[in-house]
Structure 1
Amino acid sequence: MQFGLTDEQRMMQEMAKDFAEKEILPTLKEDEAEHKFRPEIVKKMAELGFFGCAIPEEYGGNGFGFLESVICAEQIAKVSGSWRLPFNMQNIGPAVTVNKFGTEEQKKRFIPDWVNADSYGFFAITEPNSGSDVAGMGTVAVDCGDHWELTGQKMWISNAHIGDYGLVYAYTDKAKKYKGMTCFIVNLKDNEGIVTAPIETKLGLHCAPTGEISFDHAVIPKDSVLGEVGQGFQVCMFQLNNTRISCSAGALGIAGGAIAAAIDYANERTQFGKKIGSYQLVQGQIADMVAEHEAARLLVYRAAWLKDQGLPNQHQTSMAKLFASEAAVHAASETMKIFGSYGYSTEYPAERFLRDAHSLRVVEGTSNIQKTIVAGISLGDVPNR
């Protein structure tokens, strides 16, 4: 059993850490305040190979796997949770999913542009009245012979109003329930039947574009289907099981950033003539945070390793997502308390870590959904895939 990283993995880890500190951190406070998305950051991330993990080299991949993506995403999220999102939008979401289910033509056409950040990716599942209940979505696609017509609305979609090509899930046969769902590769640009709009009222992740997409009899090409007609639910579950590992990496990063800030502050701040880190209650807070963080990292890295080995991992991935996201919220909350009144100020990172951490309890399946998956597999009701 090996717990150390390879030389190449350590190199990628250090490269991601260096990038986050030099390219993201210097303007982060200003960018957060202005809810500013900077395209040049995504392009630079692509140039460093961050989006080529788990993708074959013939489609722009770099020979690395899910574990390397987790390692890099963790370091980025340690500085900013917002900038972990491109790992899902450009790589682990659309690109990996198209590589699994796409035709050769689809792979060659779409994957390299996502990996190189020549186009912005997205995936649209959530709707105003369906979130955790994926099968409850209302968006429909009608076969019109030489094209499809897409009608419905998607909400809380990352990259919605800046996205180019991405995955949209819709019903092609509502009567078949989840077996009547289909996944489409959709171009959001230059289509009069598609309207996008930003959502700017978010609690956190202020530098990550989020929006809604409305489809009104939007005409999309016949060859837009990813996989088979009626295979969309299977495609969606495959995708979510992968994007959850990236969310878990984001949780590791946010928790790690919060813990580092808490330790620095506990060593600097003095009260009653002593640094606050010398008080046992503060030490207890830090000990709990550090222990949970280390446990979360083992869960997340193991799940990513299983993916790279092609072994069943849904059980481990959902455990990692559940534990890491809850640990991140706890670490961020404790960090805010250690900072005291300063933790409530936007002048310090504690409040941002807390705001960003809470998103990870919700996205890619809430903590309750992860508990349902973990329990179902543990009880033997469903297999571990």
Structure 2
Amino acid sequence: MFRRIFSGKVQGYFIRQFSVCELPQELQDIQKTCRNFANRELKPVAAALDANSRFPAEQMKNLADLGLMRVTVDTEYGGSNLNMLALSLVVEELSSGCGATGSIVSIHNCLYADMLNRLGTKQQKELFFGKYPRETIGVFALSESDAGSDVAALDTMAVKEGDCWILNGTKAWVTSAAEAKSGIVFATVDSELKHKGITAFLLDFDQAAGLKVGNPEDKLGIRASSTCSLYLENVHIPVKNVLGPIGGGFRIAMEQLDRARIGIASQALGIAQAALETAVQYAKQRKAFGQSLLELSPVRMRIAEMAVRIESARLLVRKAACEIDRNGRATKACSMAKWIASETATFAAHNCQQILGGMGYVKNMPAERYYRDARITEIYGGVTDVQKAVIAELTIGEMNA
């Protein structure tokens, strides 16, 4: 859909037109389409998807038909050729309907499709984008049980034999692994080199004898999104499927995680916005002390704090997305956006529960799901303490320059 609407638009167009006050009409159209989709196809089923840990397969197919599973991918590979600001809006709106669906769309787009489109060779893109339909999920397998925030400590090994690399190891916390058909896997070609030995490999699950996908984790939130381990035992990957330079995996992973943090921050914004809207709607209807909750000063103060934090976080997220689109690197802005937006999601979900009282604690209202879904946004993509450390280091470095 968006490929047809926006054909001929270059990515920089949106940056030139963007202001903090108003999105250009093209982005407003994307926002409205995604908001309508969330209201129509996600909100009615979000509770059931969560309760049953059910992957939203039908919704993914419909999102792919809208061009939203390859948002930043070139049109020649079935993409919509939009930018990170557009992708941020997509994820925010979808997450307001279902945090898990927003997570699936975010991580697939930010960490797999965008990376393959940016760094893949023409042959790689033709193979991996061409083999599977647009709704097919790709994964990003970087973390390990002993190498989460400390990426340089990877144990998964890659040994070259002839025209293949042979991978052995275990990757942890892989989003959508249960449904995926392909992915980007990181391994070290020499553990002595630490981060300089890390290399990225494109993995076609159908061609990966020795690959086993573990059982999905039983998670607190985003339960419609599977999270599994990948077990690699003598998995052969052709030399042609090395993504980027040998030993260049750490650098490109860090660059891609900047984009992922915009996606996670956008997911957090969507959850926070849904929490605010639910709180206001409930407070309008609920009576206490002879008046609606909405007239009570403590409730109004909570709503004011939620609104200000959400708007502040939203501006940080859009600034980070624009910096990515303009310069390609925006590590400090992305860490700021991810930190503040994720804490805002938890804050808004908490206050939504407080306003709803007992109804905020039961499963026939969405407030408790918002809280459970919000918590992961402070954890994956780099815990909040990591974001603070990144911001501090870059800020100090700028002042000492």
Which residue does 1:146 correspond to in 2? 163
Q: Quick one: percent identity of the two aligned structures?
A: 33
The one of 105, 117, 141 equivalent to 1:87 is: 105
Tell me the distance in 2 between the aligned counterparts of 1:175 and 1:381: 32
Contiguous gaps of at least 5 residues in structure 1: none
AA matched with 1:233: F
Match of 1:32 in 2: 50
TM-score (norm 1): 0.95
Deviation at residue 182 of structure 1 after TM alignment? 0.4
Q: Tell me which moved more, 277-286 or 355-364.
A: 277-286
1:148 shift after superposition: 1.3
Q: Which amino acid counterpart does residue 381 of structure 2 have in structure 1? A: E
Instruction: State how far apart, in whole Å, the 1-side matches of 2:208 and 2:200 are.
Output: 18
Identify which of 185, 196, 217 aligns with 2:234.
217
Asked if 1:239 corresponds to 2:229, the answer is: no
**SS, match of residue 343 in structure 1:** helix
Residue among 315, 325, 343 paired with 2:332:
315
Q: Deviations over 1:95-150 (max 9, x none)?
A: 21122222121122223567822x32000011111211111121111111221111
**Are positions 1:368 and 2:379 aligned together?**
no
1:173 paired with 2:215, answer no
SS in 2 for 1:123: strand
State the distance in 2 between where 1:382 and 1:112 align: 47
Q: Classify 1:240/1:312 alpha carbon distance in 2 versus 1 (closer, same or farther; 3 Å).
A: closer
TM-score by length of 2: 0.91
Cross-structure match for 2:92: 74
Distance 2:270 2:159 in 1: 42
Give the AA of the match of 1:256: Q
Residue number in structure 2 paired with 1:230: 247
Contact 1:51 1:115 in 2 (8 A): no
Aligned to 2:343: 326
2:307 corresponds to which of 290, 294, 315: 290
Is this contact kept in 1: 2:144–2:154, CA < 8 A?
yes
CA distance in 2, matches of 1:311, 1:209: 30
After TM superposition, what 4+ stretches of structure 1 lie above 4 angstroms from structure 2? 112-115, 381-384
Alignment RMSD: 1.9
Q: CA deviation at 1:311?
A: 5.3
Larger mean Cα displacement after TM superposition, 346-355 or 156-165? 156-165
Tell me the alpha carbon deviations over residues 125-181 of structure 1, each in whole angstroms, 9 at most, x when there is no partner: 111112111111211111112211111111111111221111001111111110010
Q: Is structure 2 residue 62 aligned with structure 1 residue 44?
A: yes
Change (3 A) 1:324 1:115: farther
The residue identity in structure 1 corresponding to 2:159 is V
Deviation of residue 383 (structure 1)?
11
Matching residue's letter, 1:69: L
- State the aligned residue count: 383
- Alpha-carbon spacing, 1:261–1:137, altered in 2? closer, same or farther (3 Å): same
Which amino acid in structure 2 is aligned with residue 354 of structure 1?
Y
Gaps in structure 2 of 5+ consecutive residues: 1-17
Distance in 1 separating the partners of 2:192 and 2:398 = 25
Give 1:116's match in structure 2, choosing from 118, 130, 134.
Answer: 134
